[in-house]
């Protein structure tokens, strides 16, 4: 059963990557064990613990149209010390260094 939808990319979630905590959007029917198994099989890492947050549906307005955002779930995943997921290597501040390098090259 597929549990993971996508990684939750935000400033707060990316700041926790250095501590070994990752955030993913998951299907509302996903369980902690299923999420841990999928991560271990996909990325070959050891999951220490999983926490699931169920977010309720929200009423929204767009101009004069009323609507509802669907309910959703997020999973916070902690890995064992020293392990990392590929694709999350960018740390806060790295973006600024790359921009500074490009500015120096243009001068």
Cα distances from 90 to residues 43, 97, 101, in angstroms, run 18, 11, 16
Give the CATH number of the domain where residue 54 resides. 3.30.70.330
pLDDT for the residue numbered 88: 79
Count CB neighbours of 43 within 10 A: 15
> Rounded CA gap, 54 and 43, in Å?
24
Range of the domain at 101: 4-106
Verdict on whether the full-model pTM lies above 0.85: no
The model's pLDDT over 32-56, given as tens digits with 9 standing for 90+, comes to: 999 999 999 999 999 999 999 999 9
Contact 79, 36 (CB under 8 A): no
Low-confidence spans in the chain with pLDDT less than 50: none
Task: Read off the tokens for 105.
Answer: 């090259």
Count CB neighbours of 35 within 10 A: 22
Domain count, the chain: 1
């Amino acid at each position: 059963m597929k549990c993971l939808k996508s990684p939750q990319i935000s400033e707060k979630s990316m700041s926790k990557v250095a501590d070994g905590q990752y955030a993913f959007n998951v299907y509302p029917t996903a369980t902690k064990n299923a999420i841990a198994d999928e991560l271990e099989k996909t990325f070959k890492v050891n999951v220490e613990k999983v926490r699931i947050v169920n977010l309720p549906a929200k009423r929204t307005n767009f101009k004069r149209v009323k609507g509802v955002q669907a309910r959703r779930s997020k999973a916070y995943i902690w890995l064992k010390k020293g392990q990392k997921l590929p694709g999350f290597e960018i740390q806060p501040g790295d973006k600024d260094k790359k921009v500074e390098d490009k500015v120096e090259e243009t001068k």
